[in-house]
Amino acid sequence: MTDHCGEVLPVSGGGVLVSQPEDQYPGGLDCQLTLSADSGKYIHIGVQSLSIDCDGDSLSVYRGGSVALFELLGSPICGTSSGSSQNTFTTQEGGYFSSTNKMTLHFVTDSSSASQGSGFKITYAAYKMSPCSSAEFRCSNSRCVSAELTCDSYDHCGDNSDETSCRDGSTSNLSTDKIVGIIVAAIIVVIFLATGLAYFMCVRRRDDSQSSKSPAVVYSTRQYRASQRM
């Protein structure tokens, strides 16, 4: 995220976002990043891991494309997801859902030179409500997410149905468009091989036919011997 401060990140499907490329986040940060989906879609964010010092550092999630103009979703997030009973964090159940096609993240750290945390890792996904297209997966909560986001070990639906359905075998990892593409490619390969084989057999028959029609050459040993006597 720190590599994209002040930017707008287009969201067509979804992905994973980490706070910074380094092992620990730096002090003195005031970083905003807006996620923007296509018109008519919304954005879901899920916190996967967290290690943010609550003494002056936090991650805030805002509904919309601006920190100043739009509503803060829940409380600023800090703490750790390691399971420590003295330093845990709480997020909204199922993650954060926007009411528009934009959502803004605001990561703030103080200027302390003390050891910082490792930051955060979040998932984000664009979604719409059903009916879903052939390239989308229909979540149990009637949300539609990209079929490419299923079975990747992350909850993009908000109810984890894009992951649990893979384990019980009720859905495939491949979208309908991908399956159709594979079938079409297989048909093309079969046609190509059949055409090549037919051409090879035709050329072979033609060569065999020409070979059978060629006149036989007979050499007379009698004339050759007569000429030798002369």
Q: In this predicted structure, what is the pLDDT of residue 83?
A: 44
pTM of the model: 0.66
User: pLDDT tens across 184-224, in order?
Assistant: 899 999 998 988 888 888 877 776 666 665 555 555 555 54
Residue 84 tokens, joined:
């420590």
Alpha helices by DSSP H, listed for the chain, are 161-167, 176-213, 221-229
Q: Are 54 and 78 in contact (CB under 8 A)?
A: yes
**pLDDT category of residue 74 using cuts at 50, 70 and 90:** confident
Burial of 157 (0-12, 13-18, 19+ CB in 10 A): buried
Q: Are 24 and 117 in contact (CB under 8 A)?
A: yes
User: pLDDT tens across 11-55, in order?
Assistant: 999 999 999 988 889 999 999 999 999 999 999 999 899 999 888
Superfamily of the domain at 2-129: Spermadhesin, CUB domain (2.60.120.290)
**pLDDT category of residue 85 using cuts at 50, 70 and 90:** very low
User: pLDDT tens across 102-130, in order?
Assistant: 999 999 999 875 667 899 999 999 999 99
Domain positions in the chain are: 2-129, 177-229
Does residue 69 carry a pLDDT above 80? no
